[in-house]
Amino acid sequence: MNDILHGLGAAAAFGGVGVVLLLLGILLVDALTPGRLGHQIWVERNRNAALLLSSALLGIGGIVFTAILYTYEDFGKGLVSTGCFGVLGLVLMAVAFWLVDVLTPGKLGAILVDPEPHPAVWVTASCNLAVAAIVSASIA
């Protein structure tokens, strides 16, 4: 019974770190794009904005999953490393977003929240997932 309680506590702690990182991901995407992201997705039903946010959330989820899977034996060290790798993933996604914005025509944030479908959203979403895969691979 103690093992179950310990496992539940660890799952709750790692889940809490994961949820905080997902929230930070939402705030980051919201900061990188014009307007309110929630309004863009839930009111205006903007598929470009939804795909961009979804890719960031899936990427962070993948990083957190890998960090937990390969966590340190020490519980506290595992929690801290999961948070650190998640924050690193968010920072690198923001840097990749900025680089794509600099290297391509137009203002990427505005393009990605345009109601008309745009191929740039697929490139940016793929970039988010690629960055997450790189960070995840570095954990193992």
pLDDT score for 14: 96
* pLDDT block averages, 10 residues each, the chain of length 140: 89 96 96 92 95 97 95 91 96 96 92 90 96 95
What angle is formed at CA 122 by the lines to CA 121 and CA 124, rounded to 5 degrees?
65
pLDDT score for 52: 95
pLDDT score for 90: 97
Q: Which two three-digit tokens encode residue 30?
A: 């919201």
pTM of the model as a whole: 0.92
Q: Which two three-digit tokens encode residue 77?
A: 């060290």
pLDDT score for 71: 85
pLDDT score for 72: 85
